[in-house]
Amino acid sequence: MLHLRLIVPSDRTSAVLTLLEGDASVTHLVLLSGAARDPVGDVILCDVAREGASAVLSALRDLNIPAAGSIAAENIDLLMSDAGDKAERDAPGLSNDAVVWEEVEQRVSDEIELSATYLVFLTVATIIAAIGVLLDQPILIVGAMVVGPDFGPLAALCVGMVQRRRKMAVRAAVALVVGFPVAMVLTLAAVWLLAAADLVSRSMLLAERPLTDFIWRPDALSWVVGFLAGIAGIVSLTSAKSGALVGVLISVTTVPAAANVSVAVAFGVFDEAWGSTVQLVVNVAAIIVGGVLTLLVQRMFWRRRALQPQRTSTARRVAARARREARQSGRAAE
């Protein structure tokens, strides 16, 4: 379940309470009149089943609560309550499958800044993968995948496209379009430095590398792996499961390919560089397609399950009444 803390202007408290009391997925409702000081208003606390949380949050936004007050939500790790159990039973679907769209958007928004930290992690991951390619060592490839931060921007791009959040999608695309070239150029320089120090050589790249040669040989399975990675990543993100392992799965199709491009260019093996580039583009495209389709299916499913008429009639009626009251008060002020 989620715990909600709302700061509500006193003139909208009645509408919010009516909304929350009319939703079967909401329980443990508490009103602290006049408790909020900045912004000024009433504090309302409640718990809501994850399955119904997105509908409740959407209705609260229709009441313009974020602009006039605030909405804060946090996951409840332990809840011992018969009322809470009843709210989860009355909510549609299963908690583990529930998608709280506002939570998803907030989570991915934190992962799309083109910051120095992001560039450092992506560059370090690409350099580690480049060494793994030259040594034909999968363990180094796995290490690079753990470090790689590209899961965040890829997920944010999918969410931005599906939710029509243009700014989010643009920022995510910039993080990818700028981040990968920067990491690849720095990896190219690192490979030259390692070659100058006689730690790596062109012969290592041209040698048989049975464990890592898939990185620069794209085929139909490359698309399949990327597509499945996109599905797994988005399901992990929307179901509030840990994304660490899924981040590794995502990076297996991106960071190693980018690293192999840099290594091949550094040693002038341009056919391999081209193959790695195609692999990178195919995998990124497949991840995005898989992620977008997964989000579309989830949105369609939860619109049918979580936004059923009996659940939303109260929310719509309260929101409509609040809008009418706002218009009437505006006319009265004039």
3-state secondary structure of 94: coil
Shared domain for 8 and 129, answered yes or no, is: no
Contact 60, 6 (CB under 8 A): yes
* Residue 9 token pair: 């202007």
Shared domain for 139 and 257, answered yes or no, is: yes
b/e map 146-160, b = 16+ CB within 10 Å: ebbbbbbbbbbbbbb
> What is the mean predicted confidence (pLDDT) over 261-286?
92
Kindly report, residue by residue over 77-111, the tens digit of the pLDDT: 888 999 988 888 887 767 666 778 888 888 788 77
Shared domain for 30 and 162, answered yes or no, is: no
Shared domain for 278 and 201, answered yes or no, is: yes
Kindly report, residue by residue over 138-148, the tens digit of the pLDDT: 888 888 888 88
SS (H, E, C) 136-190: CCHHHHHHHHHHCCCHHHHHHHHHHHHCCCHHHHHHHHHHHHHHHHHHHHHHHHH
Task: Inform me whether the pLDDT recorded for 281 exceeds 60.
Answer: yes
Share of the chain above pLDDT 70, in %: 84
| pLDDT of res. 41 | 92
Shared domain for 132 and 29, answered yes or no, is: no
| pLDDT of res. 311 | 46
The mean pLDDT value of the chain amounts to 84
Q: Which residues contact 181 (CB under 8 A, 6 or more apart)?
A: none
**Alpha-carbon gap, residue 222 to 284, rounded angstroms:** 10
Using alpha carbons, select from 157, 163, 201 the residue that is nearest to residue 177. 157
Kindly report, residue by residue over 182-215, the tens digit of the pLDDT: 999 999 999 999 999 999 999 998 888 888 777 8
**Alpha-carbon gap, residue 223 to 246, rounded angstroms:** 17
Shared domain for 61 and 127, answered yes or no, is: no
3-state secondary structure of 133: helix
Shared domain for 179 and 288, answered yes or no, is: yes
Domain count, the chain: 2
Number of other residues whose CB lies within 10 A of the CB of residue 64:
15
* Residue 276 token pair: 């790695």
* Residue 159 token pair: 């969410």
Residue 223 belongs to what domain range?
A: 104-304
**Alpha-carbon gap, residue 196 to 190, rounded angstroms:** 10
Kindly report, residue by residue over 287-334, the tens digit of the pLDDT: 999 999 999 988 887 766 554 544 444 555 555 555 565 555 545 545
> What is the mean predicted confidence (pLDDT) over 7-18?
91
Kindly report, residue by residue over 231-254, the tens digit of the pLDDT: 888 888 887 555 444 554 555 568
